[in-house]
Structure 1
Amino acid sequence: MDRKLSRKTPKRKTSILSYWTLQYFLILCIGFIIIVAGALYWIRTTSLEKGLKTAELLGLEIAEKVSGTENKLHIPPDLDRLVDKRTKLFNTDNHFCIMILDNNNQLIYSNPKMTQQEVYTRLSDDLSEPRNHKFAGVTVNVVDADQTLGKVWVLQSKKAITYSPDTLLIVGLLFAALILCGWFTIYLLSRKLSKPIRQVAHAAEQIRTGNYDVNLNLDTKEQELNELVHSFREMSLRLQQLEEWRNLSLAGVTHELKTPVTSIKGLVMAVRDDIVSPQEGKEFLDIALKESERMERMVADLLDYNAMSAGSVAVRHERVDLSLLVGEIIYQWKIAYEDQSPEVAMHVPAGALYTIGDALRIQQIIVNLLNNGLQATASGQTTLFEIRLRAEENYLYVDVLDNGTGIAEEDQFKIFERFYRGELKKRQSRGLGLGLTYSRLLAQAQGGDLTLTSSSPKGSQFTLKLPRWKTPEATTPEKAYRSPANA
């Protein structure tokens, strides 16, 4: 059990500042170790080569000094002084040895002093190279009159040649300085980057707890960070508005559904308790029936919207004669509202106008626009509609103009929000505020859109955009909407 619990324990998270600086520091160290290793190898090879050339020059100088007469080596008395001067000039340590051997490999001179036996310990058995591989050596023949009299051995420690303390100190200091500079640079950049991200994360935590009043007063030079902060600030404001609208919408929906239920309950109780006369009871039941029908329509709107939002409403994509369809929609709608005598003028351009869409869904959209325009008409005023069809290269447009009271400017950008209803509409009619939202979803599902083109106290204009069928001459059979009377 303990093992299972330990496996589910989440790993401890580190800050972006700590993570990036540590990771960059490790990468920097590894990279500089490789670079320094290559640099030291190059310094070692170059220094060894130069050291051997310098030793060879010293050997040549000594060979000239000891070349004597009568085919014999001559050791000048100031040779020790010469060697000491040269060793100081070459800045060598005590790992430096000069030997002069004759043709019989007998020791004639050495600095520092040594015996013949020590010569054998320093050189190989054949006296051709140093016995210890930590030493490097060069030999220079002592020649007099084209005759070799002996040779000069110059032995020197490879370590002394390649890596001097000053060189190692300088390389170490440069190595440390570069690592610290690189780490400090990434630290500053990570700190500058993590600061706005940390504040955004803190603001997101506040939003998660329900506090939408966040303060993000950040102004950075980086475009991406500015865009992030600006987008998050706009998102928080938008969420705050949506939360306010949600609360208002829930209150409005609850009120709109509760009102007919309360009314129906009171009317039925009045009839049941014989508070009213039989004639009045019949009128009360008629009123209750109308209230129930209105409530049924509101519930149906809510169900239709939820189904559309969930993607469970099927939208067909067929070839439709738009001018014919709109004409039949207007005809049927005018019959339903014949008692209010609305007037509708339709303007159709010459030529066939074919769209790809769902005739039933198009009818729902246009009927909803006509109903909204009818409700927006002032009391005692004749309802007038003007419907214009127009075509562009890829789309067809249906403009629906009414002579209603219009939409307030501050409400125009909210009218397609779900459950939103303007103050005037709340007073004039009952509903959930889903008609325009649902209509826009239907238009977008068909590849088009529904927009509010203009609105003023003289009326409003909505525009329905639908994709155009570009080849009406095609052999595909036409599937246009037909009313039952024409079937």
Structure 2
Amino acid sequence: MDRRKNQNLTTPRWLEKGSAGERRATSILTYWTLRYFLILFAALAIIVGVALYGIRETAMENRSRTAAMLGQEVADRVEAPSGSLTIPENLNRILDQRMELFNMNLDVCLLVTDLQGNALFTRPQMTERQIQEKLNPSLRSGEPEYQLIKTPIMQNGQEIGGVYISQFRKTPAYSSRELILFAAVFGALALSGWFTIYLLSRKLSRPIRRVAESARQIRSGHYDVNLEIETGERELGELVDSFRGMAGRLNQLEEWRELSLAGVTHELKTPVTSIKGLVMAVRDNVVNGEEAKEFLDIALQESDRMERMIADLLDYNAFSSGNVSVRRDRIDLKLLVSEIVYQWKLPHECDSINIVYDFPEGLIYTTGDAMRIQQIVVNLLNNGQQAAHPDRPLCLQITIRESVGRIEVQIADNGAGIPEQDRDYIFDRFFRSEEKKRRARGLGLGLTYSRLLARAQGGELLLRSSSPSGTTFSLELPQ
């Protein structure tokens, strides 16, 4: 493998160098806060823009109504005792008071005309051309758009003149103070929203960052990580607890791997050493006659035991890599289990083993591989024999039960049971309890391999119960 491939296997994609230089993924804190701020800023800008437009239109409508009210008041104050209009002398003072009261800008123009359109009063003073432009908007050129409001002057139900008020249609409807207030509110909302998401993102990213750091330590081979994180969020708490459990499990598996390697080496080395010593004793004439034959018989037994351990190891490796096929035959389970137990008991006739059958009436069929089922059942029977209690004769109970879509084969013994601290690990490869190490040789692959065989046939191998009075294993198969 060249250096580039090796780098791809050890370096995360977000740390690889691209054509534009070193690229690093953005942190959650930066990613969320920046994008949330931009989205919040855009949303608030739209809201403020719509609000300002609505306020402006409302204010323009109110200004038009105010101008109409002012025009009506001026029309009521204009006198016409002899049929001709007379402008009150205090009209300018009244207009000053009203414009100050209504907060009207100085760009408002007011004209009073007779029925023929002759200007009798203008505020401010205007030339004849300006008056005509105010009264006829079509004559204007290059000037802002005006709004012209006319209030007729009535006498005895007849129109004798008119009051015209002209004001800019696009006159700002809000003052600089109002704009500053809007800007302050806008900024406060944007900053408060950004600060809120910043705090939440930081609280969320802190435990994730700690978990990522612990994952890097595990990747480097340091499984003993200290992940003490207190969080009130349920999902984060579940993530931290799961990762803490995974780290502990990996650490335990690493310790077991080292111990298992040493155990496998020891278990294979012991018979080799024994065979070598026995054969050398025979070769060097240290023993002769019947004693030499006995030494050779022991050497053969040790070689058989070593052959079985190597076969277990090869079978497990072959099956775990998917190189072993499993048949799908229709099997009479009661007949198969009876034959398996009968064949297993033949070499143990001299042992005081009591076998009890608890089978239902009628035929029971399953789909699977008869040879693989035999391997599982024989392994469970051997385990039951090895777990025999020294103070009571061994009794094995074989039970077959039917349920919806499943068939269960239970093998129960009355042995010493499995220690409670070992029950969660008995299906792990190379695991052997201290008690079993003292009583029997092996690699600790029997239950692991049996579970793989059961699952390959669509079933499962479970530890149902274990206590000082006995242990029960259950082989589930499809009906």
Distance in 2 between the 1:152 and 1:360 partners? 113
Specify which structure has the bigger relative contact order, considering alpha-carbon pairs within 8 angstroms and separated by 6 or more residues: 1
Q: Does the 8 A contact of 2:33 with 2:194 survive in 1?
A: yes
- Partner residue, 2:6: none
What's 2:302 paired with? 291
Within the candidate set 440, 443, 450, 1:432 is matched to 443
1:42 counterpart = 2:57: no
Secondary structure of residue in 2 paired with 1:162: coil
Unaligned segments of structure 1, at least 5 residues: 469-487
What is residue 473 of structure 1 aligned with on the other side? none
Aligned position for 1:208: 219
The one-letter code matched in structure 2 to 1:411 is D
Q: How many residues align?
A: 463
**1-structure distance, mates of 2:373, 2:175:** 90
Amino acid at match of 1:386: Q
Q: Does 1:317 align with 2:321?
A: no
Contact 2:417 2:471 in 1 (8 A): yes
Give the counterpart of 2:194 among 178, 183, 208.
183
For 1:84, give the aligned amino acid: D
Distance 1:27 1:421, change over 3 A: same
Aligned amino acid, residue 403 of structure 2: E
| Paired amino acid for 1:317 | R
What is the CA-CA distance between 1:363 and the residue it aligns to?
Answer: 0.7
Letter in 2 for 1:327: S
- Mapped to 2, the partners of 1:341 and 1:201 lie a distance apart of 58
Q: Secondary structure at the match of 1:214?
A: coil
Partner secondary structure for residue 328 of structure 1: helix
Which of 102, 115, 130 is the equivalent residue of 2:114? 102
Partner of 1:479: none
Q: Is contact 1:140–1:153 with CA below 8 Å preserved after alignment? A: yes
Check whether the contact 1:364–1:439 (CA below 8 A) recurs between aligned residues.
Answer: yes
Of residues 367, 377, 394 in structure 2, which corresponds to 1:366?
377
Q: Show CA shifts across 1:292-342 (max 9, x none).
A: 332222222122222332333322333221111111112222234446564
Alignment partner for residue 31 of structure 1, among 43, 68, 73? 43
The equivalent of 1:448 in structure 2 is: 459
> Contact conserved, 1:124 with 1:130, CA < 8 A, in 2?
no
In structure 2, the CA distance between the partners of 1:105 and 1:354, relative to structure 1 (3 Å rule), is: same
Alpha-carbon deviations, 1:234-290, whole Å to 9, x = none? 222222222222221122112222333344455556667x46467577665554444
| Per-residue Cα deviation, 1:73-114 (whole angstroms, up to 9, x for no partner) | 212110110111111011122222212233444433222222
**Aligned mates of 2:89, 2:189 — CA distance in 1:** 53
The corresponding residue for 1:78 is 90
> Distance between the aligned counterparts of 1:74 and 1:313, measured in 2?
118
Pair 1:432–1:191, CA change in 2 (3 A): same
Decide whether the 8 Å contact of 1:67 with 1:142 is kept in 2.
no
1:253 paired residue among 240, 244, 264: 264
Matched residue, 1:157: 168
CA 1:467–1:126: 2 relative to 1, 3 Å:
closer
Deviation of 1:228 (Å): 1.6
Q: Is 2:26 the partner of 1:17?
A: no
User: Shift of the alpha carbon at 1:366?
Assistant: 0.8
Q: Tell me, what secondary structure is at the counterpart of 2:302?
A: helix
CA 1:12/1:92 → structure 2, altered by over 3 Å: closer, same or farther? farther
Per-residue CA distance 1:207-228 (angstroms, 9 max, x = gap) = 2233333333333332222222
| Structure 2 CA distance for partners of 1:336 and 1:165, relative to 1, 3 Å | same
Q: Is the 8 A contact 1:420 1:433 kept in 2?
A: yes
TM-score, normalization by structure 1: 0.85
Which residue of structure 2 aligns with residue 413 of structure 1?
424
Taking a change above 3 Å as real, the CA distance of residues 208 and 111 of structure 1, as seen in their structure-2 partners, is same
- Structure 1 position 118 matched with structure 2 position 130: yes
Pair 271,179 (structure 1): closer, same or farther in 2 beyond 3 Å = same
* CA-CA distance at 1:434 after TM superposition: 0.4
Amino acid at match of 1:422: S
Check 1:406–1:221 CA distance in 2 against 1; reply closer, same or farther (3 A cut): closer
Q: Where do 5+ consecutive residues of structure 2 fail to align?
A: 1-15
Report what 2:238 is aligned to: 227
Aligned partner of 1:354 among 365, 370, 379: 365
CA contact (8 A) 2:79 2:88 kept: no
- Residues 311/67 of structure 1: CA separation in 2 closer, same or farther (3 Å cut): farther
2:64 paired residue number: 52
Query: Which whole-Å CA distance do the structure 2 matches of 1:423 and 1:438 have between them?
Result: 20
- TM-score with structure 2 setting the length: 0.86
How far did residue 153 of structure 1 move?
1.8
Displacement of 1:121: 4.9
Query: Bigger shift: 281-290 or 211-220?
Result: 281-290
The whole-number CA distance in structure 2 between the counterparts of 1:105 and 1:457 is 120
Distance, in Å, in 2 between the alignment partners of 1:184 and 1:123 is: 56
Q: CA contact under 8 A between 1:107 and 1:115: conserved in structure 2? A: no
The yes-or-no answer on 1:7 pairing with 2:19 is yes
Q: Does the 8 Å contact 1:68/1:74 carry over to 2?
A: yes
Aligned-pair distance for 1:52? Answer: 0.7
1:190 and 1:49 map into 2 onto residues whose CA distance is: 46
Contact persistence 2:459–2:476 (CA under 8 A)? yes
Q: Residues 144 and 168 of structure 2 are in contact (CA less than 8 Å); yes or no, is this contact kept in structure 1?
A: no
